[in-house]
Chain A
Amino acid sequence: ETGVTQTPRHLVMGMTNKKSLKCEQHLGHNAMYWYKQSAKKPLELMFVYSLEERVENNSVPSRFSPECPNSSHLFLHLHTLQPEDSALYLCASSQGLQGQPYEQYFGPGTRLTVT
């Protein structure tokens, strides 16, 4: 799991807080992803970045704001979250050439609890 790292691993925040999740990939990939994983539900794709440009935003509320300053780093800025946003947030990366079946490599996730 050293290929994709995420910090922090656990985060508890109040609804009025602002926090950020960080993801870093050491694989030389050029596509990065944010997913939300809730119990008993399929993974929900939130954002996709390719070559630092956002290429997909799956109707995610504006209280989630992604940032990709370079191809190795991805952030998810959080503000005024709701309790239903509590979940495991997973970052992934892939070589990401369009149309090619590259597998994604996942980080360990950040367990977020909104109180």
Chain B
Amino acid sequence: AQSVAQPEDQVNVAEGNPLTVKCTYSVSGNPYLFWYVQYPNRGLQFLLKYITGDNLVKGSYGFEAEFNKSQTSFHLKKPSALVSDSALYFCAVRRISSGSARQLTFGSGTQLTVLP
């Protein structure tokens, strides 16, 4: 079984400040990890993914995420938040296995609000 926890339903940050959206996962074996963003009345948009290698992954719109295997975490970060970053963020995990289906397990989402 695999699961994802996003411990914060809501994160507020002032524009220009760094932001972090937390994600921890549980999976047997090594994971593929993803971050998606959802703007109001839109579908999810892919931001970045961790497959293997460098623990710091860079993605779209200046976002990055750090994979920490010992803490089973994959926190999303951005050095300087913009008001336009306000959206719902989802973390997702998939087990690496040649026999696995394409199933992603998503977290429940974190609403990020960047205050001007």
Contacts and interface: CB of A to CB of B under 8 A. Distances in A.
Nearest to A103: B46
Contacts, number: 69
For chain B, the bracket of interface size reads 20 to 34
B1 interface: no
Contacts of A56: 101-103
B34 to A, nearest CB: 6
A34 to B, nearest CB: 12
A90 B44 contact: yes
Interface residues of A, number: 29
Contacts of B103: 45, 48, 56
13 contacts: A41-B108, A45-B103, A48-B102, A48-B103, A50-B102, A92-B43, A98-B100, A99-B96, A99-B98, A102-B102, A103-B34, A104-B44, A104-B46
Interface of A: 1, 4, 6, 31, 33, 40-43, 45, 48, 50, 55-56, 90, 92, 94, 96, 98-99, 101-109
